[in-house]
Chain A
Amino acid sequence: MNFPAELRYTKDHEWISLEGNVATVGITDFAQHELGDIVYVDINTVGSALDAEAVFGTVEAVKTVSDLLLPVAGTITEVNSLLEKQPELVNTDPYGDGWMVKVTVANPEDVAALMSSDAYAALVG
């Protein structure tokens, strides 16, 4: 299983990457594997300012539904429009084309405080 070193991770199995104060968020390789075939990503929080660990959307696999939790406080600015037609990108490319939202983060230093790839690998290993 792949957990890129340049990303930060949460215990809820989201990843986040930060450029300036804009973060990209998705779910981890472990999460997509546990969920199985993803058939729908339902996010309608664009424009919302949310707290850390707030639900920003829902991911649906064939058999299961799982909430998506925001890793850090921020405002959702964009949803990955590719997922509308190809939700399976979350399975095939969770850190690339399967990203879920862009977020303007409230405090960029919150991101650095999240888990490293080694810590996350230890958590799910």
Chain B
Amino acid sequence: MKNTPFTDKHIALGAKMAEFAGYNMPISYSGINDEHATVRKNAGVFDVSHMGEFMVKGEHALELIQRVTSNDASKLVAGQAQYSCLPNEQGGIVDDLIVYCIEPGKTYMLVVNASNIEKDWKWISDRNTNGAEMHNISDKTCLLAIQGPNATKILQPLADTDIMNLKYYTFTKGKFAGVDNVLISATGYTGAGGVEIYFEDKDGAAAQIWDAIFEAGGPQGLKPIGLGARDTLRLEMGYCLYGNDIDDTTSPLEGGLGWITKFTKDFTAKDILQAQKAEGVKRRLVGFEMIERGIPRHDYLIKDASGNVIGKVTSGTQAPSLGKAIGLGYVSIEHAAADSEIFIDIRNTPVKAKVVKLPFA
């Protein structure tokens, strides 16, 4: 099991630790509900250094990215980021990712899921037929997400660039807490606002930045947050989790990612996805909330009123901010409209739910 540069900090803080994607990660500290509320109302810090980062450089960088991703990276200007996915040859999804444009046409950073680092690296390398320069910088790159309505206010005194007015999905690079070359990005996986910061762990940079953030934020109620609350926060926003809600067998159109699938350019499985769009998808990822008492969980069956199986739950939880049980799941298209009545099979009992529009929160 790998550690991040912050593993000792988590253990010292009393975090409940568990293996995730091969890393020893904090699942919770004070409790998922408390951590969740802290991020929604104030600010919290997530160590997500397990995520993968690839640099793609040179005159063929953009051409490669355009071919392997579904969104249109040619639209990006310097300092802009884009949510995208890597479709596979069958129109499924190899991974979802964020493309950071550092220098248009020349230098990009791809941020991928921890569990997919090796798979994605091979996938993109195998398609790098024109010789774009690629570097896997995952192991040396730290990533902290500081999320919540007060996050940028707390961090601003540590930064030498304006981060309070950073637009969503843009980023800046500069000195942060005395460390050079920190990439500060107005992105996140919580819907609560805030930034994510990327930097190299050298000369004690990881400890220096972590300590500076808690020194600045501790008195204002900033707390460390584990992966448990990260999951409930993202689920309330209806954000997909790779491996749960989207995977090699689900298409971006089925997964509600049509908005990052741009048929104005060429990319892997474009023809398949274009045909799927023309015909209409047969199933769709929907959000639902429980009407009767019960909590949906990954892999529970979804049924119609007559008891026929119409799909499967991909994510579910009791939503801490909403006080109700919510989930995501694939249902056949005739049940996908908002307000459709569906039943979640919980321990062999059908429990009533209804399809709702996303986000939940």
Instruction: Decide if A17 is an interface residue (CB 8 Å cutoff).
Output: no
A116 within 8 A of B: no
The smallest C-beta distance from B35 to any residue of chain A, in angstroms, reads: 10
The interface stretch among B98-106, B147-155, B239-247, B293-301 is B293-301
Q: Give residues in A with beta carbon < 8 Å to B.
A: 36-37, 39-40, 42, 58, 60-63, 65
B136 at the interface (CB under 8 A from A): no
Interface residues of B (CB under 8 A from A): 16, 27-28, 31-34, 228, 231-232, 293-295, 297, 317-318, 320, 325, 347
- Given A62-B32, A62-B317, 15 additional A-B pairs, CB 8 A: A36-B16, A36-B28, A36-B31, A37-B32, A37-B34, A39-B318, A40-B294, A42-B293, A42-B294, A58-B347, A60-B318, A61-B32, A62-B228, A63-B27, A63-B32
- Determine whether the beta carbon of A40 is less than 8 Å from that of B228: no
Q: Are B347 and A62 in contact (CB under 8 A)?
A: no
Bound-state Cα–Cα, A43 to B29, Å: 29
Contact sample, A vs B, 15 pairs, CB 8 Å cutoff: A36-B28, A36-B32, A37-B32, A37-B33, A39-B318, A40-B295, A40-B318, A40-B325, A42-B294, A60-B295, A62-B33, A62-B317, A62-B320, A63-B228, A65-B295
Asked if A40 and B33 sit within 8 Å, CB to CB, the answer is no
When the two chains form the complex, which single residue of B28, B231, B297 contacts A65, counting CB atoms closer than 8 Å? Answer: B297
Residues of A near B34 (CB, < 8 A) are 37
A45 to chain B, nearest CB (A): 12
- Taken together as a complex, chains A and B put the C-alpha atoms of A65 and B325 apart, in Å, by 14
Q: Residues of B contacting A42 with CB < 8 Å?
A: 293-294, 347
| Whole-angstrom distance between the Cβ of B151 and the nearest chain A Cβ | 22
Of the candidates A36, A37, A40, A62, which one forms a contact with B293 in the assembled complex, judged by CB atoms under 8 Å apart?
A40
Cβ A63 vs Cβ B317 within 8 A: yes
Please give the distance in Å from B63's CB to the nearest CB on chain A. Answer: 42
Tell me the complex Cα distance, A58–B34, Å.
Answer: 23
Residues of B within 8 A of A37 (CB): 31-34, 320
CA distance A62 to B322 in the complex (A): 13
User: How far apart are A61's CB and chain B's nearest CB, in angstroms?
Assistant: 8
Given contacts A36-B28, A37-B33, contact A62 B232 (CB under 8 A): yes
Which residues on A sit within 8 Å (CB–CB) of B32?
Answer: 36-37, 61-63
Residue on B nearest A61 in the bound complex, by CB = B32
